[in-house]
Structure 1
Amino acid sequence: MASNNICARCLQRALSTPPRALSLPRRAFISSTSASSAAKPPSNIRRIHQAPRQRAPELQTSHSAQSGAPASPIRDRIPLPADPAQQPDKQKRVLLQPNNLFHSFTHSPAPEIRRRAAFLRQTAYCPHPDHQPHHAPHDPAHQHPNPAAATQPPAHVAHECPDCGIPVYCSPEHFADDYASHLEICDLLRQINEDDHDLLSGRFFPEFDYPGPQIDEAQVNLTNWDTLLYSREFPAINDERSMRQVTRLLTYPMTIGSVLHELSPYGLKDGLTPEGLRSLSALRYTLHPPRTGAGIDIKGLRPNPPPIRLFLLGARAESSLPREIWLQLANLFPRSTFHLILIGPESMTNRDAEFPLPPRTNSNPFGAIVEDRLGGQIKISTYVEYFHTLHEAQQFAPYDPYFDAFVLFHPGLGHPASSHEWAQTLPQLLETKVPVICTGYTDYDMRRDVEWVLKEGRGEVDMVMEPRENLFRSLRWDLNDAEPADVGCGNWGVWGFRGKRYEAREYTGKEGAVEGS
């Protein structure tokens, strides 16, 4: 070490160092001295040979000394990453890769799916014919072949199929004996398994990036999902699983928009009835107003029509949708405004932490939750109450067929467990003479609701749309936790009805000649 390149103070310290330390290489010596100097408490008094900037923390310096990396002024000024074991996760860790989405429900890496597997084992029953039927099936296709021949009591599912990873039978023996019937839905259950794990995989979802309002120069094409996403300028989706995930959410606003839009794919040859055309023409006239030359100055002031009121009765999953999803409905009609009214006792399930229920006061007698800062085109009000209670209190009266419509997503009108809840509501819906749009999980679920409405309506029902498969149904299938063999998809079918209208005609005095009043 040349004495002309080092000051007297540093030379004295080097000479006083034990011989073993002098045998260290220069880089290790500099790192050790830096660590010792960094361990001392900083002083506010500027001393000779003290750097103008404060030294790096002790953890960073010791990390460089242990790794053997050369110490440099630049490295001391750049903060080094801490130990990954001690650093908290600032970003969500990727749980699963796209090629590793299939896992057993019971041994899933996602705790949410493991809890669902435990719930399945507590609620679902083995579908083997040897077991006595525990409850009436949701679909006659799953009817017990011979209930009199069943000798064993009902048993909960406990055995998982190795191909779909979902508990479906009570034992391996029953699974092997009834394997032929399970093969009918095994591939579908495996797809559900992978889709559920995909939602919890922690990956980035580019398919959930939604476009803004639709400009007049680019008309939307409502023929099917592909043409809709293309004409609305959604990000390109080239994966079937991503397509299933995005349609699972968009099916709610797009089902409404496909029926009410002037470019609707449903016409007189595609399920729409003459009475339905009359009802929907009134709504379409309001939803597509002509340009009035409105501007921002005083000369451009024009009266604005009231918003379109959409009453979503029996709201459940649709009430917890992200508000960006409902904005897609308003983007289809850029010159109209909407007021979504979510009504039902389950409309705020699992959302108490997000929106605590307000107290019922004179100004808000039913404790409505109002969300009115959603871009200026849409407002959402939520009522945790039955519709017949609000109707009897004249909360929304009067109803106007030009501005109002009812929407019932999977209402279960004809289901034995829920039909009694709609018995009082149905006459009130028919009384309003406003169109009612309904959907169903499956074809049987939809037609069961149609039969119940026609029976309970007692001739006071006009069909707006014949029951048919929804062009904008969810492409993702859902699993019924109470009956794994019963699978369905959101808004599979769509149909509509309203109360029968009677028109008075003036009698002119001539037989067979009438004139419209």
Structure 2
Amino acid sequence: MALSADIAARLALSRLCTRCSISAGRQSRVPNGFLQASQQQQRRSFSAKSPPPTQLQRLPQSALRSSRSSISNRFSSSAAQSSFSASAPPSDTPKRVLGADDLFHSYTDSPIPEIRQRAAFIKQHASCPHHHHQPGGDMAPAHVNFECPDCGIPVYCSKEHWADDYEAHLEICDTLRQINEDDHDLRSGRFFPEFEYAGTQMEEALINMTNWDTFLYTRDFNAINADRSMRQATRLLTYPITIASILHELSPYNIKPGGRLTAEGIKSMSALRYTLHPPKTGGGMDVKGLRMEAPPVRLFILGARAESSLPREVWVQLAHLFPNSRIHLIFIGPESMTNRDDEFPLPPRTATNPFGAVVEDRVWPTMKISTIVDYYHTLHKAGHFYPYDPYFDCFVMFHPGLGHPASSHEWEETIPMLLETKAPIIVTGYTQADMERDIDWVNKTAAGEFDVLMEPGENRFRSLRWDLNDMDPQDVSAGNWGVWAFRGKRYETTRKATE
């Protein structure tokens, strides 16, 4: 059963598509890549009862069947995970398909049916990058059909064009081969110890957020000694840890030279860090020990896609990193419930739930998750989350495509409203070019109306695994590669000197 949940988590993440395919996915409202061809078949063919991997791995084999239902209820995302399980075997014990030394296969001739479907999709939609097919060339555009024998991915229309452009292809060939082997690894049927997550953190044990290695070690994760296992683990954890690395009091980002926080940034982050790390109140369990509690910190994940259906144990890492505060994750976006209809049929819109929010209030004692299938500007106009407080509110946008021509129009109305709240806005990008395009768009759209809180740069906790754009195999990127932050400009009161 561990295989089912692991593959499901990967497929959920694969819907966070790269720069070009993400926009195509938004236009068609279906997942990108090979999932387009198999989405409906997957949702009909596989059960929505697969429990999360980390719990099952701790149970004896005889207890798997009896405990499956209770685990599924405890972690409400398990049904969403299994709805993407494209090659999960029906039995409780997954069958090993590929060995550790047998992970490289041609996409077209792969032993995994799902990867063969992906190869077919790439051949139908990706164009040959040879200069003869480019504008001004002497040949009409053509789809890729030839697979490089070194990386196993369709990259050119013919062997001749591949050989003629071989030096250019060498620049990404090794990365494409790594992507190929990682894809086969996730479907190999092996046991995935890297998907067992650490539990609560001892107060005496401080975490070190210098990089992935120091973080996983000080958080008492299972030792990950293989690069491939590290890539698989960070592909999931990059979302909550990216947020935590900026908001935590032990954050590696500071106002020192090279720390990337600006003077305005330290003001905003200090406010949130003060709330997320409250002092001891002296409260107790009896009536005399009752104390006032601060409201939960609200983290608005705007434009949410696959991150809203990640295994809940991944997001609970935020609760472990901020054990003395309450956190309310709010996923907002028209695609935030994609492929989760079997798990959570959208509730009717009523007077008490005007936007049909799906609320999961049993994720963790100090964490609640809400999902709203709507645009943020609609909620803002209705005053649904009013009032906003920079001490308790933060906005996060994972790869929003602010400057992408196919998606920028969706943010034109939203950005001015976000600036009105004066709350921090954390933004990530797939690549440096993707991040710079978003920054240029914000500069043009809201010039003079925002302050930069965090200088743009590479994210310390980016995904170490590379992703392939199925619409363009030459385009590779990493989840949350870069990160920066801004907020609406605050105007300080000044006094005019009297003569």
Where on the TM-score scale, by shorter chain, does this alignment land: which range? 0.7 to 0.9
Give the TM-score taking structure 2 as reference length.
0.81
What is the aligned partner in structure 2 of residue 315 from structure 1?
304
* TM alignment of 1:23-102, pairs within 5 A: 89-102=91-104
What is the aligned partner in structure 1 of residue 431 from structure 2?
442
Counterpart code for 1:179: Y
What is the aligned partner in structure 1 of residue 328 from structure 2?
339
1:209 aligns with 2:196: yes
1:115 aligns with 2:117: yes
Counterpart code for 1:216: E
What is the aligned partner in structure 2 of residue 463 from structure 1?
452
Counterpart code for 2:125: T
Q: d(CA) in 2 for partners of 1:328 and 1:111?
A: 34
What is the aligned partner in structure 1 of residue 71 from structure 2?
none
What is the aligned partner in structure 1 of residue 159 from structure 2?
172
Residue 194 of structure 1 deviates from its aligned partner by: 0.4
Residue 507 of structure 1 deviates from its aligned partner by: 3.9
CA contact 1:101–1:194 (8 Å) conserved in 2: yes
Q: d(CA) in 2 for partners of 1:458 and 1:444?
A: 20
RMSD (CA atoms): 1.1
What is the aligned partner in structure 1 of residue 218 from structure 2?
231
**In the alignment, which of 381, 397, 406 is matched to residue 392 of structure 1?**
381
What is the aligned partner in structure 2 of residue 417 from structure 1?
406
What is the aligned partner in structure 1 of residue 240 from structure 2?
253
**In the alignment, which of 464, 477, 480 is matched to residue 475 of structure 1?**
464
1:244 aligns with 2:246: no
**In the alignment, which of 240, 254, 274 is matched to residue 267 of structure 1?**
254
1:191 aligns with 2:178: yes
Q: d(CA) in 2 for partners of 1:505 and 1:229?
A: 47
Q: Which moved more, 1:237-246 or 1:354-363?
A: 354-363
1:105 aligns with 2:98: no
Equivalent position SS for 1:309: strand
1:152 aligns with 2:154: no
Equivalent position SS for 1:446: helix
Counterpart code for 2:103: L
Deviation sequence 1:77-111 (CA, Å, 0-9, x none): xxxxxxxxxxx844211111111111111111111
Q: d(CA) in 1 for partners of 2:156 and 2:350?
A: 52
Equivalent position SS for 1:248: helix
Q: d(CA) in 2 for partners of 1:114 and 1:303?
A: 58
Unmatched 5+ residue regions in structure 1?
1-87, 133-146, 511-517
Deviation sequence 1:366-404 (CA, Å, 0-9, x none): 111001101211111011111111111111111000000
Residue 460 of structure 1 deviates from its aligned partner by: 0.4
Residue 461 of structure 1 deviates from its aligned partner by: 1.0
Equivalent position SS for 1:374: strand
**In the alignment, which of 262, 272, 279 is matched to residue 290 of structure 1?**
279
Residue 467 of structure 1 deviates from its aligned partner by: 0.3
What is the aligned partner in structure 2 of residue 279 from structure 1?
268
What is the aligned partner in structure 2 of residue 358 from structure 1?
347
Q: d(CA) in 2 for partners of 1:320 and 1:169?
A: 35
CA contact 1:311–1:343 (8 Å) conserved in 2: yes
Q: d(CA) in 2 for partners of 1:232 and 1:386?
A: 36
Q: d(CA) in 2 for partners of 1:238 and 1:458?
A: 47
Counterpart code for 2:273: R
- Over 3 Å counting, the alpha-carbon distance change for 1:109 and 1:454 in structure 2 is same
Equivalent position SS for 2:451: strand
Residue 118 of structure 1 deviates from its aligned partner by: 1.1
Q: d(CA) in 2 for partners of 1:90 and 1:353?
A: 22
CA contact 2:319–2:364 (8 Å) conserved in 1: no
What is the aligned partner in structure 2 of residue 429 from structure 1?
418
Deviation sequence 1:444-482 (CA, Å, 0-9, x none): 110111111111102101001010110000000000011
Q: d(CA) in 1 for partners of 2:197 and 2:91?
A: 28
Residue 156 of structure 1 deviates from its aligned partner by: 0.9
* TM alignment of 1:466-505, pairs within 5 A: 466-505=455-494
Counterpart code for 2:462: R
Equivalent position SS for 1:478: strand
CA contact 2:122–2:470 (8 Å) conserved in 1: yes
Q: d(CA) in 1 for partners of 2:308 and 2:218?
A: 27
Q: d(CA) in 1 for partners of 2:321 and 2:102?
A: 37
Equivalent position SS for 2:362: coil
Equivalent position SS for 2:315: helix
Q: d(CA) in 2 for partners of 1:395 and 1:279?
A: 23
CA contact 1:214–1:333 (8 Å) conserved in 2: no
What is the aligned partner in structure 1 of residue 127 from structure 2?
125
Larger Rg: 1
Residue 211 of structure 1 deviates from its aligned partner by: 1.2
Q: d(CA) in 2 for partners of 1:95 and 1:294?
A: 54
Counterpart code for 1:389: T
Deviation sequence 1:491-514 (CA, Å, 0-9, x none): 00000000000122344625xxxx
Counterpart code for 1:491: N
Segments of 4+ moved more than 3 angstroms: none
Q: d(CA) in 2 for partners of 1:114 and 1:320?
A: 25
Equivalent position SS for 1:245: helix
> More relative contact order in 1 or in 2 (CA 8 Å, sep 6+)?
2
